Copies of this chain bind each other. A is one copy, B any other.
Amino acid sequence: MAKRFPWLGRRKPTSRLRPRRHSDLPVNRVDISELTPPLERYLAHAAYIQLSVFQTLGKAVASAPTTKAKEAVSRATSLILQRQQAIVVELERLGVDAGEAMEPYATSVDHFHNRTLGSDWYEMLMTAYVSAGILDDCFVRLAEGLHGDYPQRMRTILGGQEDQELLATELSAAIDTDPKLASRLALWGRRLVGDTLLIARSALALPENTPATDERLEPVFTELIADHTRRMDDLGLTA
């Protein structure tokens, strides 16, 4: 399986490369489109999540170790804000006030934001890399269930990788410089998954909260976690 950021591989010591644990498992493709919420809800939730990622990176920028790092993360932040604004434009095309539409998601996403912000530059970058990675994946997949050309439009808006590449470059360089960071960030990455999947779950249109529902969701989460594992691998970290 090709790496998402093959150029990162060159920079990593071989000892940090680990076999990909999920790569040989057959993945059940689920029809996630049955779980897609109504368009307005989808857009508003996605837009508020981007705001949360922006706030994480905005805080990270303030604690950047160098001006170069500050500039790189500002670039990633700009891309995320442009993504957020593009989703807001989609809301406005529906005649919806974006601020009001996002309101119902503020409490849970703010709570998630506070729990997952991280205590320093490295953890904040990991949060933006790991959580935003999982949630963007989730919303790109959910877009399949939207009507008209929305699936393609949302893939274009949410599918950009440049912000993730910028964050991966910073994180990878930091881990190369201080190998002790690897275990701390691997731990933090693992800690983020639970909270992030709860937000991903809340984005789905679930008919009822029965055990059967959760069973149905498992393949969705399996896919999201497989992508997450790939992102951690790209940093040379165990998911």
Contacts and interface: CB of A to CB of B under 8 A. Distances in A.
Of A51, A55, A58, A97, the most chain B CB neighbours within 10 A belong to: A58
Given A78-B84, A81-B81, A99 B69 contact: yes
Of A67, A68, A85, A103, the most chain B CB neighbours within 10 A belong to: A67
Q: How many copies does the complex hold?
A: 2
A183 to B, nearest CB: 28
Contact of A74 (B54, B62, B70, B72): B54
A121 interface: no
Interface in A76-122: 77-78, 81-82, 84-85, 88, 97-100, 102-103, 106
**Interface residues of A: mostly helix, strand, loop or mixed?**
helix
A48 B70 CA distance: 10
A66 interface: yes
Contacts of A55: 58, 61-62
A75 interface: yes
Given A81-B78, A84-B74, A102 B67 contact: yes
Given A74-B81, A78-B85, 20 more contacts: A51-B61, A51-B71, A54-B74, A55-B58, A58-B58, A58-B59, A59-B59, A67-B102, A67-B103, A67-B106, A68-B99, A68-B100, A68-B103, A70-B99, A70-B102, A71-B88, A71-B98, A72-B99, A74-B85, A75-B88
5 contacts: A57-B58, A67-B99, A71-B88, A75-B88, A78-B84
